[in-house]
Amino acid sequence: MRQAGRYLPEYRETRAKAGGFLDLCYTPALAAEVTLQPIRRYGFDAAILFADILLVPDAMGQSVRFAEGEGPLLDPIRSAKDFACLSPAATRPKFERVFETVQRLRQDLPDETALIGFCGAPWTVATYMIEGRGSKDQAAARLFAYRDPEGFQKLIDLLVETSIEYLSGQVRAGADVLQIFDTWAGSLPDDQFEKWVIAPTQRIVEAIHERHKGVPVIGFPRGAQGSALWYVAETGVDGIGCDTATPPYMMAEAFEGEKVVVQGNLDPLLLVAGGEPLEARVGEILELMEGKPFIFNLGHGIVPETPPEHVADLVRWVRQGSRA
Ligand code: CP3
């Protein structure tokens, strides 16, 4: 997760050339280049498209800025009338640039390297649209949903519709697998989780399955805890990304025989620490997952402080330890 990024000197160089982070995302030659950098260095089995979950609101017309050291900033949506002007139709020119990146990648990647396309889940994207930035508790979005559930449903519907077109365009351009990132799924009580996490995700998964037979969709309901089981059962995802606190072997056992692939879940901070504790933990995860349908991954995004050589160690240890 975040295999491309600031921990790599070659990424920092390309990013400086691009100017802003969004310029990097929307320039196919550069976005493809940073996607390929970690593949060249480490030979991962899968590449993830270089883009961001906030390209969706940006392309719909709610402009997004990435301020140095501050993360994303948007003009916050205060009421339903603030998003009346956003439209799925407006997304075309910007989405086309992302699709071009996917096309280039499918050409440049080795045939055996899977290409993962992605989007943010409607709930998580809505939290940024309403807060205008990242937040600890997603309070503004949760309050919006309680105070104006109909207005909030309209925003979610807009995101469902746009995300289906966005993901579908990525598949047509050459993505082999799709992932839906629901980073803030863990902030909702069960009734709200059902409405804003499960239902919209289920609609996206169903549409993708209908349009693109055989393209697997992986869900990542970060922080969902016990509700992650419910999420897998109801949304129809083909794979479940486990965050650092969700044991992959419990997930695999719960869905034994149901063709659900489990992905996860090394702590990104252990990858910063490196050395013997990292090697031991990799061995432990592989041992627990032996014989189960499993994709080795991190439990959340790689952090900029990660020494690139620790990632090389990780890949070596995973390859030695797994008997694929
Ligand atoms: O390599 C990859 O994994 C593909 C690219 C990717 C990025 N963002 C690039 C990025 C992916 C899959 C994402 C997903 C994403 N973006 C999520 C969901 C996954 C998660 O981490 O929970 C979220 C919540 C975002 C929103 C976002 N984008 C934030 C909060 C930030 C700031 C964080 C930071 O570290 O500064 C970003 C910026 C961002 N997206 C960077 C990268 C490589 C760092 C930007 C930089 O170069 O300065």
Supply the DSSP string of 217-248, one letter for each residue: EEEEETT-TTHHHHHHHHH--SEEE--TTS-H
The model's pTM is 0.97
301 part of a folded domain: no
295 part of a folded domain: no
82 is catalytic: no
Catalytic residue among 2, 97, 106, 281: 2
247 part of a folded domain: no
Catalytic residue among 11, 26, 128, 231: 128
15 is catalytic: yes
Q: Residue 185 is part of a domain; what is its CATH number?
A: 3.20.20.210
Whole-number pLDDT of residue 323:
56
Ligand 1 atom nearest to 304, measured from its CA: 35
249 part of a folded domain: no
Residue nearest to atom 39 of ligand 1 (CA): 52
User: What is the side-by-side order of every strand in the sheet holding 114-120?
Assistant: 46-48, 114-120, 177-182, 217-221, 239-241, 261-266, 294-298
Whole-number pLDDT of residue 67:
85
65 is catalytic: no
Whole-number pLDDT of residue 69:
81
Domain that holds residue 197: 9-241
pLDDT less than 50: residues of the chain: none
2 is catalytic: yes
Catalytic residue among 6, 41, 133, 281: 6
Q: Report d(CA 194, CA 229) in Å as an integer.
A: 12
Residues with CB under 6 A from ligand 1: 1-6, 15, 21, 48, 50-54, 71-72, 118, 120, 134, 181, 183, 301
29 part of a folded domain: yes
How many helices and strands, by DSSP H and E, does the chain display? Answer: 15, 9
Q: How far, in whole angstroms, is CA 214 from its chain's centroid?
A: 20
Residue 18: CA count within 13 A, CB half-sphere: 21
pLDDT tens digits for 183-240? Answer: 999 999 999 999 999 999 999 999 999 999 999 999 999 999 999 999 999 999 999 9
Domain count, the chain: 1
